[in-house]
A and B are shown apart, each in its own frame.
Chain A
Amino acid sequence: MTKFCSERIAKYAFEYAYLNNRKTVTAVHKANIMKLADGLFLESCRQVATKYPSIKYNEIIVDNCCMQLVSKPEQFNVMVTPNLYGNLVANTAAGIAGGTGVMPGGNVGADHAVFEQGASAGNVGNEKLLEQKKANPVALLLSSAMMLRHLQFPSFADRLETAVKRVISDGKYMTKDLGGASTTQEVVDAVIATLH
């Protein structure tokens, strides 16, 4: 755990909240046990928080956080976490909201950005999904919309997101993880049809 990395991730979180009109940033930690390591992370978050007085900042211990996520997830807004807790919190939150097949996300650095499926990005699915071609493309489609915004093509991004959201809300073409029986290609065709 370094001060340098903790500071820059805290800065990114607060900048994100500021630029996207988010009201609260919550730091997730276990500083009661890992006092030095997570303590350092918390200090960095607190320092950065003082520079953004209009954004609410609070802290939550990771085990209580997991429990709150499954009982009252609506209380959370932006959450900033160290590496391992973030993996678990992201997967739990993705599961609550519909699964890792629909949540968009990406990785960003000072010079580059890599967009991939939101949670469980390293997951390559099981054999069956591959053979029957039933993987859910929604997550990567929404991530590609984020990519279009990143490349400064907001109207294309809006069109894509609206199309995907309409396909989901229609409910006719959904892959197995969302309770349907369509293949990947059918969902893609539905999105393309909705684009026009």
Chain B
Amino acid sequence: MATTRSIPLLKRLIGKQPSRSVTYMHRPGAGSPRPDGSPRQVTLIPGDGIGPLVTNAVEQVMEAMHAPVYFEKFEVHGNMKKFPEEVLDSIRRNKVCIKGGLATPMGGGVSSLNVFLRKELDLYASLVNCFNMKGLPTRHENVDIVVIRENTEGEYAGLEHEVVPGVVESLKVITKFCSERIASYAFEYAYLNNRKKVTAVHKANIMKLADGLFLEACREVAQKHPDIQYNEIIVDNCCMQLVSRPEQFDVMVTPNLYGNLVANTAAGICGGTGVMPGGNVGAEHAVFEQGASAGNVGKESMVKKKTANPVALLLSSAMMLRHLQFPSFADRLENAVQRVILDGKVRTKDLGGSNTTQDVVDAVIKALG
């Protein structure tokens, strides 16, 4: 449960942890319902498209592990006019949520419910961990990038208006407050997870005031962490470096739009959006979903043939288990998933195989041991 006291712990546990060699001494009663009788609950939102498929995979695996997690499931769909109040209440109560993507209609006046949830709960940091997995050969090796993206403002402020017919103005809003807190989060993450370098991604040569403000905030925070290397890179050069030498990047902190593109590019380099875990965190809540392209609900054919890749959401649920302070369950789950990928026998189409989601789930459950 995310209390103010446990925020540093929370943030550390959200990161990718090396496997432990000491037994985790739990707080008495951690494996059973809390003293006041309420079970440890997590809100589960299956979502649209492939969402129900992959969240169901998580449910099955949690069941198989007998994880002390109880899901409170809610149906939310992207075409709803607004996010149901009862679901928001549930997340506020449980503090932790895991969800599939919500389909966003293109154009028109309906805004994305995925973005709405992040803004409503002030989940200001979106984290995606892109890394090479053993058994999944890609063009580059030794890649381990964490993209920390500001989640609430920037180009996604949603402020657009038509000045006259045929002319639209779209406002990009950058504030010192939001830039400072995302920079603080990035440096704290680097510090708590033994990362050596933080790179700020920007286009301040063109957007001098907006990205200039973001950079100033990053520089100020960098001074408070003298043992972490800090550098800056213009976003177009960054894209090019990502596809030629991604091993140079470690933690990257970016405003909203660049973060989306950088995270997707980095995910593509390491094997695709079907395998990279991630989540959104704010001061009080955490919502775990597929790492990159979280709003993506997959194609019709994937839904019909049930061939969506559950790996990303399974790894994100492992991050969630650590967040809830059940590291040994998290380790078991991650090891099982990594073993299935390493074996290479059961894989969905995006990884070059031809298995269904259920095949992968069965393989993971078997590998749990």
Interface residues of A (CB under 8 A from B): 1-4, 30-37, 39-40, 42, 62-64, 66-71, 84, 87-88, 90-92, 94-96, 99-100, 119-120, 122-123
Contact = CB atoms under 8 A, between A and B. Distances in A.
Contacts of A88: 235-236, 239, 258, 261
Interface of B: 104-109, 111-112, 115, 155-156, 158, 160-162, 165-170, 203, 205, 235-237, 239-244, 257-258, 260-261, 263-265, 267-269, 272-273, 292-293, 295-296
Contact of B268 (A2, A67, A100): A67
Given A36-B162, A62-B260, A63-B263, 4 more contacts: A35-B108, A66-B264, A67-B292, A69-B268
Given A69-B265, A91-B237, A95-B244, A36 B293 contact: no
Contacts of B265: 66-67, 69-70, 92
Contacts, number: 124
Nearest to A96: B243
Given A32-B106, A119-B236, A92 B166 contact: no
Main secondary structure, interface of A, reads helix
B155 A33 contact: yes
A33 B155 CA distance: 9
A120 B237 contact: yes
B240 A94 contact: yes
23 contacts: A1-B167, A2-B166, A2-B167, A3-B165, A31-B106, A33-B156, A34-B155, A34-B170, A35-B111, A36-B168, A63-B292, A66-B239, A67-B272, A67-B273, A69-B243, A69-B265, A70-B242, A70-B243, A87-B235, A87-B236, A91-B240, A92-B242, A95-B241
A30 to B, nearest CB: 8
A1 B264 contact: no
Given A32-B112, A63-B260, A70-B269, A99 B160 contact: no
Contact of A92 (B158, B169, B239): B239
B261 A39 contact: no
B241 A66 contact: no
Contact of B161 (A36, A39, A90, A122): A36
Contacts of B264: 63-64, 66-67
Contacts of A91: 236-237, 239-240
Enumerate the 6 nearest inter-chain pairs by beta-carbon distance, A residue then B residue, closest first.
A3-B166, A95-B240, A67-B268, A70-B268, A36-B160, A95-B243
A37 B159 CA distance: 10
Contacts of B243: 69-70, 92, 95-96
Contacts of B170: 1, 34, 36-37
B310 to A, nearest CB: 18
Contacts of A87: 203, 235-236
